[in-house]
Structure 1
């Protein structure tokens, strides 16, 4: 796991494939592939954020895309559009922007063509929806 510590300011985009915790300031976008992102209460990101699982306790000024889970804690402040397949949002969190709850990418489930689903594919999709609490 990598950490942008409190008191540190990073200017520019961050790309990676390892979990990241932001306690300081990032003035640029954060793109993590197959990794999780945590923005602590003291953390601030000014740019787009993309990761597998994202937990926000600090502030984000930009669009947020979480592949599997987006969690906004009570101290979260987000100004931008949210896109995720599962959202957990504390009552005291603040969010200004659009929200898209998306179905999983067919590749995630090993389904190649949604138009020609087999019974096994339907079962995989049902299990995924139940696991992610999607009606």
Structure 2
């Protein structure tokens, strides 16, 4: 992945096939297949050759692979030049690089979904 926002503590490798609910405090990078729900208090990175069929709740999200599902970020959602997102995005900022693909609706009213960053605590247990 080209852009890094923080230190990744958890990696779901390229041969990983995970289905279910993932909850965590620290940044996670997905390089394989993930289906379900992600609740991460930090950042989520979707690597170039990965596929995520999930609802993602995180601080920041960078998509270089494919996401099929909704993304809720307290800060920025970035779709890189190789990224593809099919779903709704809620966040403070949305960046779609040239070549990136996004199909869905955008809601920039993050405050109505989470009063503050601590609102994410209900997702991470």
Band of TM-score, shorter chain: 0.7 to 0.9
The structure where strand makes up a greater share of residues is 2
Question: Secondary structure of 2:59's match?
Answer: strand
> 1:1-135 maps to which residues of 2 (within 5 A)?
1-33=9-41, 35-102=42-109, 104=111, 107=116
Q: CA deviation at 1:83?
A: 0.7
Q: Alpha-carbon deviation of 1:37? A: 0.6
**Maintained 8 Å contact 1:29/1:45:** no
CA contact (8 A) 2:74 2:110 kept: no
TM-score (structure 2 length as normaliser): 0.80
* Misfit runs of 4+, over 4 Å: 103-106
Query: What CA RMSD, in Å, does the superposition of the two structures yield over aligned residues?
Result: 1.4
Unaligned 5+ segments in structure 1 are 109-135
Give 1:107 shift: 3.8
TM-score, normalised relative to structure 1: 0.74
Gaps of 5+ in 2: 1-8, 118-125
Higher helix proportion (structure 1 or 2): 1
Deviations 1:25-59 (A, max 9, x none): 101111112x1110010121111011001100000
